[in-house]
Amino acid sequence: MKFFVDTADTQEIADLAETGLLDGVTTNPSLIHKSGRDFMEVTKEICGLVHGPVSAEVVALDHEGMMREAEVLRRIADNVCIKVPLTIDGLKTCKKLTGDGTMVNVTLCFSANQALLAAKAGATFISPFVGRHDDNGFDGMDLIRDIRLIYDNYAFETEILVASIRHSIHVLESAKIGADVATMPPAVIRGLFRHVLTEKGIEAFLADWAKTGQSI
- Given the rule CB under 6 A, which residues bind ligand E4P? 6, 26, 28, 107, 127, 129, 131-132, 163-164, 183
- Please report how close the Cβ of residue 195 comes to ligand E4P at its closest, in angstroms: 24
Q: Which is nearer to ligand E4P, 82 or 200 (CB)?
A: 82
- Please report how close the Cβ of residue 208 comes to ligand E4P at its closest, in angstroms: 43
Catalytic-residue membership of 176 = no
**E strand residue ranges, the chain:** 2-6, 24-26, 54-57, 80-85, 104-109, 125-128, 159-162, 181-184
Cα distances (Å, whole numbers) of residue 68 to 65, 112, 189: 5, 29, 34
Measuring CA to CA, which residue among 30, 76, 75, 20 is closest to residue 51?
20
- Please report how close the Cβ of residue 72 comes to ligand E4P at its closest, in angstroms: 20
- Please report how close the Cβ of residue 201 comes to ligand E4P at its closest, in angstroms: 33
Sign of the alpha-carbon dihedral angle for 215, 15, 131, 143: negative
Q: Which is nearer to ligand E4P, 36 or 213 (CB)?
A: 36
Cα distances (Å, whole numbers) of residue 201 to 52, 197, 204, 206, 208: 35, 6, 5, 9, 11
Q: Which is nearer to ligand E4P, 119 or 184 (CB)?
A: 184
Exactly one of 83, 92, 95, 211 is catalytic; name it: 83
Active-site residue set:
83
